[in-house]
Amino acid sequence: MKRRLSAVLAALMAVSLLATAAYASSNYQSGDVPIGSSNEVLMVGTVVPSVMSVTMPTYVPFHVSRTIEGDNKVISPRITVTNNSSVPVALDVTYTSVDLSKLPGAAWGTGSNVAPNEIAIGFQPETLANQMPTTFNRTTWLQANTQQNINVMSLNAYGNSTMYVVGTLGDAVPENNSFSVIPTFVVRQA
């Protein structure tokens, strides 16, 4: 009985496969390509990353002093930024919150030439390995408490780059006090 049932099921399966193949070969539309044809179908796909990831420090202490030789009056650690994405990215600053309340009479400057009561801070890419910049070549200056859209660096896919905090201060800016500079970074596909 079991053999007979197996034989019947095998016969039904063979008939259904033949019927399906006959139907498929006679009922394709004009845009369809039959299997075994010499026609080729070009399929193009695009991979778009859903997540861009960049690693960088969340806290960067730096010191500013008029006694530092050179134009740059800041001592800063190396700031290494790593792109963990499979696409090139750009790192921009869209806003910088600046609090100078502990520096009485001080104001924010917008570049390397500051007034006696001004202080200016920016970012500069590393040009010599493990050496702080002494000049302001290629510095991107931060603007205080206003919307901005400045590019700080671009990174290749899975690449990294290094920058430093640089800055200057006028003769009337009080020393031995602290202030805060908090840039808002945005990562976008380059």
Say how far apart CA 23 and CA 141 lie, in whole Å.
71
The per-residue pLDDT of the chain, averaged, comes to 85
| pLDDT greater at residue 19 or residue 66 | 66
CB 96 within 8 A of CB 182: yes
Q: What percent of the chain has pLDDT over 70?
A: 78
**The pLDDT value given to residue 25:** 52
Which residue from 85, 82, 65, 83 is spatially nearest to 74, judged by alpha carbons? Answer: 65
Say how far apart CA 131 and CA 148 lie, in whole Å.
28
Question: Is 179's pLDDT higher than 90?
Answer: yes
Cβ neighbours of residue 136 closer than 8 Å, sequence gap 6 or more: 71, 72, 112, 122, 124, 166, 168
DSSP per-residue string spanning 68-117: SSSS--EE---EEEEE-SSS-EEEEEEEEEEE-TTSTT-EE-SSSS--TT
Model pLDDT for residues 140-166, shown as the tens digit of each residue: 999 999 999 999 999 999 999 999 999
Question: Is 22's pLDDT higher than 60?
Answer: no
What is the pTM (predicted TM-score) of this model? 0.72
Model pLDDT for residues 110-141, shown as the tens digit of each residue: 999 999 999 999 999 999 999 999 999 999 99
Q: In which band, very low, low, confident or very high, does the pLDDT at 31 lie, cut at 50, 70 and 90?
A: low
Q: In which band, very low, low, confident or very high, does the pLDDT at 38 lie, cut at 50, 70 and 90?
A: low
- Count CB neighbours of 190 within 10 A: 15
Paired strand residues for 178:
none
Model pLDDT for residues 63-110, shown as the tens digit of each residue: 999 999 999 999 999 999 999 998 899 999 999 999 999 999 999 999
**The pLDDT value given to residue 10:** 56
| pLDDT greater at residue 27 or residue 68 | 68
CB 164 within 8 A of CB 123: yes
